[in-house]
Structure 1
Amino acid sequence: MIESLKSLKRNGWMSIAAFSAVTVTLLLVGILLSILMNVNKVASDIENDVQVRVLINRGTTKKQEQKLKENLEDLNYVGKIKFSSKAQELKNVIGSYGKEFKLFGGDDNPLNDVFVVSAKKPEQTVKIAKAAQKMKYVYDAKYGGASAKKLFSIVDNIQKWGIGISLLLLFVAVFLISNTIRITILSRKNEIAIMRLVGATNGFIRWPFILEGAWTGLFGAIIPIVVVNFGYMWLYKVISASLASTGYHLLSPGVFLVQIDSLLIFIGIVIGAIGSGVSMRRFLRI
């Protein structure tokens, strides 16, 4: 292990070139994975926040409202049901659109009492709305219509594209890191040939280079980890303040950054070692 570190020092410029390639690649991987994971998180929060608003007929008694609630609870795909009175609905309108709507308080309130229904699965929202519209004492059931369907489609596409881009990034990382390490080994082919001439076994020749590749991946991950950690913590403070009013939030830096850091170290070490091992094969053939 110590010899592999000394070897990296002896091959200064080539080692720096390998570190640079690893650093740039892992920095790109770290940034884009952070973005994609948070986009998926916020998209999932938005998706899960879609609800059906069941407007109750005006003049419906408390007993009838309770009966309607029981009928909604009987639907297999209903999760939670929350009651919102027309007075509360008016407060929400005033909070969103201004104090001038206070004129509609008391008996002049034109709004309906509402059951806010959450589905067990977001894609079941439409089914709940259609079933609720057919129930007694229901004035209307709203879920966003085409907007909700469009939202579900966007979320689905984000998740699919996110997985695809992540896999593509990992492939690019493997390609760049492996080829950079291969170049460093090519520059030392005479050293390998001499070792073979003096009778060194393939394993004796191979392992120092594999360790060098692992060290290259580990050292190359240091700068990306520092940049991603400080950059994410700063952006988390800025963006979280903007998202506070929406009820959505980014992934908490604590556990998330540990996961990203571990992933970058793992990618760097494994790909560095594999790249060195694969690159050595042509020089170890008899």
Structure 2
Amino acid sequence: MVPSNFGYSLRECGHHFRRNWTTVLGAVVTIFLSLFIIGLFVIASAMINNMVGSVEDRVTIQAFLSDDADQATVNSFQEDIASWDNVESVTYKSKDEALEDYQTSMSNRNASDALAALDSENPLPASLVIKLTDPQQVESTAQKIAQSSTFQKICDQSDNPAGDVKYGQETVEKLFSVTNYLRIGAIVLVALLTFVAFVFINNTIRLAITARRREIGIMRLVGASNGFIRGPFIMEGTLEAVIGALLAIVVLFVGVNALLPALSSSMAFLAFDVSSMTLYATFGLLLLLGVLIGFFGSAIAMRRYLKV
């Protein structure tokens, strides 16, 4: 399907662009809108994935320790957990630090009232705070900690070690369920939009070729080969797709650089950032997708006119 005469195809493509600029404009706009929507959803999916990742990264395990636990045993167990494959870091939180965190999370008045009721005693236990490299494995890691014979010796409740390993079980399960659905939904939606864009663009190119069927018929009558006839149309469809893809890339680039800083400053608690690698990979994908859609869309649309 490679044009048999590249120079001729390019000249004919230029002539048609000038003679039928309205048709060309319609095809370019169609391709631009289709690829722009695909690019928008790809970037939005990357943003959602970053947000989900930032929320998942906050999932930690707290292993509560007895006040009478031997500090050497605690330190040894901390080093042991740190050597596990899925563990990123293990931090020891003392009773005083636990109380300070409690006071920070509560309002000053509520914290003061609670401490007054306890006669300024600190009932909160020390703990090990474990951060994981893969938060999806939080349940299996928590079970491993609870089943450890060393932890059972130093845990706060010796009769119920599993009760001393907390990671917000119900909340974490719901979080992972929602995030997995979001990721799957984003992939399915982008795939569906790509298919719809291909069908839409193919129909647009087919209409342009149908309008020139007499020209194709004359070329066949004078003995032109299929490759010679096909060349200008494939060149035209490919160039229209490339122009549409470049327009989509420019608009997305300007939009991302204009909107993301504003969103990040107004809602700093969410990760609205998109890495440069993801952005440029998306732009490369749109350009490649445009070339493929233009090339194969033109070739497929012309098949009916090149049958002997």
Partner Cα distance (1:148, 1:262) in 2: 36
- Give the one of 151, 158, 161 matched to 2:185: 161
* Partner Cα separation in structure 2 for residue 274 and residue 241 of structure 1: 43
In structure 2, the residue matched to 1:149 is 173
**Alignment partner of 1:23 is 2:59:** no
Deviation at 1:70, TM superposition (A): 4.3
Partner of 1:119: 132
Could you tell which deviates more after superposition, 85-94 or 67-76?
Answer: 67-76
Structure 2: runs of 5+ lacking an equivalent = 1-9, 157-163
Cα root mean square deviation, aligned: 2.4
User: Of 285, 289, 293, which aligns to 1:263?
Assistant: 285
Partners of 1:249 and 1:191 lie apart in 2 by 52
Shift of 1:77: 4.4
CA distance in 1, matches of 2:121, 2:266: 36
Match runs of 1:214-229 below 5 Å: 214-229=238-253
Letter in 2 for 1:136: K
AA aligned to 1:219 is I
Indicate conservation of the 8 Å contact 2:69/2:155, yes or no. Answer: no
Match of 2:296 in 1: 274
AA partner of residue 181 (structure 2): N
Range that drifts further, 177-186 or 65-74? 65-74
C-alpha deviations, 1:168-198, integer Å up to 9, x for none? 1111111111111111000000111111122
Question: Aligned runs of 1:163-202 on 2, under 5 Å?
Answer: 163-202=187-226
| Equivalences for residues 1-286 of structure 1 within 5 A | 1-73=10-82, 77-100=86-109, 101=111, 104=115, 108-134=121-147, 135-139=152-156, 140-242=164-266, 244-245=268-269, 248-252=271-275, 254-286=276-308
State the distance in 2 between where 1:29 and 1:39 align: 15
Distance in 2, Cα, partners of 1:42 & 1:136: 39
Using structure 1 for the length normalisation, give the TM-score. 0.89
CA pair 284-238 structure 1, distance change in 2 beyond 3 A: same
Q: What is the identity percentage for the equivalent residue pairs of Structure 1 and Structure 2?
A: 30
Amino acid at match of 1:258: Y
Q: Per-residue displacement from partner, 1:208-260 (whole Å, max 9, x unpaired)?
A: 111100111011123322321222222321232355446x45223x3333222
Give the 3-state SS of the residue equivalent to 1:82 in structure 2: strand
Secondary structure class of the residue paired with 1:58: coil
Within 2, Cα distance between the matches of 1:46 and 1:163?
A: 20
Taking structure 2 as the reference length, the TM-score comes to: 0.83
Q: What is the total number of aligned residue pairs between the two structures?
A: 284
**Cα 1:245–1:171 shift into 2, 3 Å:** closer
Report the residue type matching 1:275 in the other structure: G
* Aligned match of 2:7: none
Contact 1:68 1:137 in 2 (8 A): no
CA contact (8 A) 2:31 2:245 kept: yes
The one-letter amino acid paired with 1:227 is V
